[in-house]
Structure 1
Amino acid sequence: MNYMELVDTMTPAIYRSFKLAVEIGKWPDGRRLTAEQRSEAMQAVIAWGKLHLPEEEQIGYIDKGHKAGDSCDEPSETTLKWQEDSRE
């Protein structure tokens, strides 16, 4: 069994357990994760998410949103008109 097959067999409960362990740095029983364990668990969480979650729920997803208008679609030069102060 290769790594991706192993990740694919993870249950959602294992995914949630690994994700929480990475977030707080501890296993469910309270033991601290080593740096290697944290790295491996994080890789498994990311890989499992890629296989089983929609893009917007995956680790690292950035919602780029939508523009409010079309003013940024085509950048154009805008000429500034300076007015002299008439109060003098």
Structure 2
Amino acid sequence: MDTEQLLSSMTPEVLERLNYVVETGKWPDGSVASPEQRDNAMQAIMLYQSRHNTSPQHMTVGAGGDITFKSKQELKRDFSGEGETIAKVKLSDK
């Protein structure tokens, strides 16, 4: 299978399964993935991300194949929700 065929056949479900294998070392049915399967899954994910990931997270492969790193300041802002108000709660001093 060539690269373009691989990418065109990767549905969101396939990508999710591959992510699961890389993260856990097991297939979703619970069977253990071989080191070669895990490596191949990671390579497929990185290839997919290099073509389709337009909003990469910290340490991912962005569109165009660039490895993207976010600074500590960017990560703190992303995780703090700076600029976003979800709810305000006033605590009483009882």
Q: Say yes or no: TM over 0.5.
A: yes
TM-score of the pair, normalised by structure 1: 0.63
Select the structure that is richer in strand. Answer: 2
Q: What whole-Å deviation, never above 9, does each CA across 1:54-76 have from its counterpart, x for those lacking one?
A: 1524735311357xxxxxxxxxx
> Are the equivalent residues in 2 in contact too, given 1:8–1:48 (CA < 8 A)?
no
Asked whether the equivalents of residues 17 and 28 of structure 2 are also in contact (C-alpha less than 8 Å), the reply is yes
1:71 counterpart residue number: none
Give 4+ residue runs of structure 1 displaced > 4 Å after superposition: none
| Structure 2: gaps (5+ residues) | 62-67, 75-94
Structure number with greater CO (CA < 8 Å, separation at least 6) is 1
Residues 1:20 and 1:59: Cα distance change in structure 2 (over 3 Å)? farther
| Equivalences, count | 66
Unaligned segments of structure 1, at least 5 residues? 67-88
Question: Counterpart of 2:9?
Answer: 9
Larger radius of gyration: 1
Q: CA offsets per residue over residues 16-73 of structure 1, 9 Å max, x none?
A: 110111100000000011010001000001111111111524735311357xxxxxxx
TM-score, normalised by the number of residues in structure 2: 0.59
Identity of aligned residues (%): 32
Task: Give secondary structure in 2 for the equivalent of 1:27.
Answer: coil
Higher helix proportion (structure 1 or 2): 2
